[in-house]
Structure 1
Amino acid sequence: LYSKLAAKKEGNFFFAPLGISTALAMTYAGAEGETSKEMGRVLHFDELPKERLHQAFGNVTKDLTSRLDREDCTFTVANRIWAHEEARVQGRFQKTVEDAYGAPAQILDFKDSKGATETINTWVAERTRDKIKDLIPPGVLDENTRMVLTNALYFKASWADKFDPKQTREGTFQADGSRLVDVPMMHKKADFKYGEFSLDKNSPTPSIHKPYFVEGLDVQVLELPYSGDDLSMVFILPKDQETLPKLEKSLNPDQVNNWLDQLHEKTVITSIPKFNLTSSFRMKDVLSDMGMGHAFSDGADFSGISGQKDLTIGEVIHKATVEVKEEGAEGGAGTAVVMMRKTCIVQDPIFQADHPFLFAIRDKNAGILCMGRVSDPSKN
């Protein structure tokens, strides 16, 4: 999914895979026939039987929200279904999404497009502590809307070892690889998990290396833990701008996990920009390109929701934001699935993030929760 979004989005962007997959998993609970097969294949939901898949999503959510419920580290998840007053929601579907996802159904008058949009957007804003406002743009919902399935995420975490604001100073960042911009750079020399890798061989760096890169190695990977060591932020820094497209094209969860497994504790001289990003996506085209077009067509089968083949996905909307500063990080994400009626010298390595890089927020059990690209930290 990252590679598809990166190819369509220039500059900074940020998204929450967990939020998108949760909203689509609720939708998948009502998919049947070819629609179910397609969604299962594209989203890798078919790796588990449906009942176990929904249980797994529920378990992940409960685990995250129970472990990450502290003053210095908070992670919350909320789900809800908004149904048209004339919609006939099947009892089995309603039980699945309520039991596994804690998503009660609420009746909404979609004929009042403005009112329905405001109701859903207010709910998302409240669940994300106002980090995500106006998730659904005006005009998306209308009299043909039969259901909206929503997910809202919020997180706030303090670094295990905070950056000293007195060490933050203006630095030069090669925005988009060439244009130079001045941005506040945070600095720290400390022990972190660190590694250098080749995109071709996934081979870790030798024990003796140059301050930036061994010849032939393409990326530096740095993991900064948040307080409590459950969450961390992973930075993936290509050696130059030319490497970034190759990195984004080849990026996949197995590769990232392989790198993370090979990181070693090391003293690292770190320079990272402060940044504040917000991104919005209409995901219909991306998901269709990935092979899920049936769900958006007149041939879609969501009879598990309504008892008839009268529903199709009109759009999948996602919005996410993150702010990274000396104390830690805070952010949120909202997702809405809109269902429509059919019509060589030994020395400390230097991790100097002064050119575009990738980053991810990772949970030690659940894996990558959010991910993004910083091309110009001076822009929101």
Structure 2
Amino acid sequence: MGPALLWLLGAGIVASIHGQPFPSLEKSPKVPPAPQDQLSEPTPAHHSVTPAITSFALHLYKQLAAEATGNICFSPVGVSAALALLSLGAQADTTTRILEGLGFNLTETPQADIYRGFRSLLSTLGQPSPKLELKVGTSLFLSQQLKPRQSFLDAARELYGALAFAANFSDAAGRRMEAFVRKRTYGRVAGIPGLLHDDTLLVLLNYVFFKAKWKHPFSRPHPQKPPLRVSTMHQQEMHRFLYDPELACTVLQLDFSGHARALLVLPDPGKMGQLEAALRPETLTKWGQSLVPSLLDLHLPRFSISGMYNLGDVLTHIFNLEADLSGIEGQLNQTILRMSHKAVLDMTERGTDAGVASSLLSQPWALNNAPLALSAISSAPLVHFNRPFLVFLWEMTTQSLLFLGKVANPTAG
């Protein structure tokens, strides 16, 4: 048998490409008890994971910003969910390394609570909404030569809604998967990062797709004179807004129709590095508590940004050691993890849409809080996003950070 490959791809594929589903035989001992109806819960279970996702996102952003000179775009929920699902099939130290690498303190938050939290998060994000198009999903495709552990299959199904299917991997299968990636992300992500091989053993596919209209739409954009060629959107509306003199930045909240919002952060000229270094969950919390309604004369570029990264080179605290994934299948007891991630985010006068795709490859080892002092402005100030700024895209029911990016070149695509 050739090299054994394990792919985990966060990239919108339905569970019907090839093969038959593995039968469900038993309940996994790793699955926590089913949560009660959230209406009767004092605290929804997803509250145990969303703060860690935010903290992990800011840590990852700083690492990407240290290397990138242009746009940055990734999905914290997409990366975190893929790695958390991988931890279901890991053993001992590998499980601990993955979950602690995602920012969880396993003494304060037991492993079962983390898995229960992700189940609540993904289930809530997947609830239909007439004003917000947000789709999440997961499928597992395993080589027909594998005999996956039933406990892992049951845990993946119970916690992530992931169904497992036997597959015969080939170039044709890869093309079909790429077609489904485009379909489930409505063309936002073309193809999948990474390549399938004939000796691929497992593919895990999940997707995050977001589309929403602004609560207050912008006027049609006006193209600027060359060489800028940036279309600028304009409106005069009431928005929650602040100026943070400590970090020398303007913070603006834009609401969507539905339970989502964007937070745009515009540093003063030459202050982007200072802002990025100071990004912490506490900073976001203070901003959120200090924003005040203001009538703004807002000018915002219409932009399309994307990012594609080899996260295995960035998240070395997770990926630089041998992993034991024998909880999925015994042959995967010594593996090296690699991960790629691709995200796309478009913002126009009508709204925002975004898609994400991730790939996580495993090969056998033998193969190698005080309040801010903020400036309040009573008139309608001019807020012109005409230099690099940050974008946070939130789903508000779960307080989860779906996308995080930096707009350095609005036309880079």
TM-score range, shorter chain: 0.7 to 0.9
CA contact (8 A) 2:319 2:336 kept: no
Unaligned runs of 5+ in 1: 174-179, 200-216
In structure 2, how many angstroms separate the alpha carbons of the residues matched to 1:302 and 1:198? 48
What residue identity is the alignment partner of 2:193? I
1:153 correspondence with 2:225: no
Which of the residues 318, 322, 343 maps onto 2:345? 322
| Residues 34/198 of structure 1: CA separation in 2 closer, same or farther (3 Å cut) | farther
Identical columns (%): 26
In the alignment, which residue of structure 2 is the partner of 1:95? 154
Are the counterparts in 2 of residues 183 and 378 from structure 1 also a CA contact under 8 Å? yes
Contact 1:15 1:320 in 2 (8 A): yes
Aligned partner of 2:6 in structure 1 is none
Q: Look up the match of 1:132.
A: 189
SS of 1:360's equivalent in the other structure is strand
Check if 1:300 corresponds to 2:300: no
String of CA shifts for 1:72-107, please: whole Å, max 9, x gaps. Answer: 321000111221222231111111111111111122
User: For 1:245-278, what per-residue CA distance to the aligned partner results, in whole angstroms no more than 9, with x for missing partners?
Assistant: 2222332333222212211111111110001122
2:328 alignment partner, SS class:
helix
Deviation at 1:193, TM superposition (A): 0.6
Counterparts in 2 of 1:338 and 1:82: CA distance versus 1, 3 Å: farther
Deviations 1:219-264 (A, max 9, x none): 1100000013x10111000011x21122223323332222122111
Q: Output the TM-score relative to the length of structure 2.
A: 0.77
Counterpart of 1:312 in structure 2 is 335
Q: C-alpha separation between the residues in 2 aligned to 1:322 and 1:122?
A: 20
RMSD in angstroms over aligned alpha carbons?
Answer: 2.1
Structure 2 unpaired stretches of 5+ = 1-59, 368-374
CA change 1:76–1:126 in 2 (3 A) is same
Change (3 A) 1:161 1:351: same
1:371 maps to 2:401: no
Aligned pairs for 1:1-380 (under 5 A) are 1-45=60-104, 46=106, 48-66=109-127, 69-70=129-130, 72-110=131-169, 112=170, 114-137=171-194, 140-165=195-220, 168-171=221-224, 181-199=228-246, 218-228=248-258, 230-240=259-269, 242-288=270-316, 291-294=317-320, 297=321, 299-307=322-330, 310-342=333-365, 343=367, 347-364=379-396, 365-380=398-413
**Partner Cα separation in structure 2 for residue 198 and residue 170 of structure 1:** 32
Number of residue equivalences: 342
Whole-angstrom distance in 1 between the partners of 2:238 and 2:380 = 10
Q: Distance in 2 between the 1:254 and 1:93 partners?
A: 36
Equivalents in 1 of 2:215, 2:146: separation in Å? 49
Going by fraction, where is strand more abundant, 1 or 2? 1
CA contact 1:135–1:318 (8 Å) conserved in 2: no
Q: For residues 23 and 7 of structure 1, what CA distance do their matches in structure 2 show?
A: 24
Secondary structure in structure 2 of the residue aligned to 1:133: coil
TM-score of the aligned structures, taking structure 1 as reference length: 0.84
TM-superposed CA distance for 1:347, in Å, is: 3.1
Partner amino acid for 1:330?
D
CA 377–97 in structure 1, closer or farther in 2 if over 3 Å, else same: same
Deviation at 1:303, TM superposition (A): 1.8
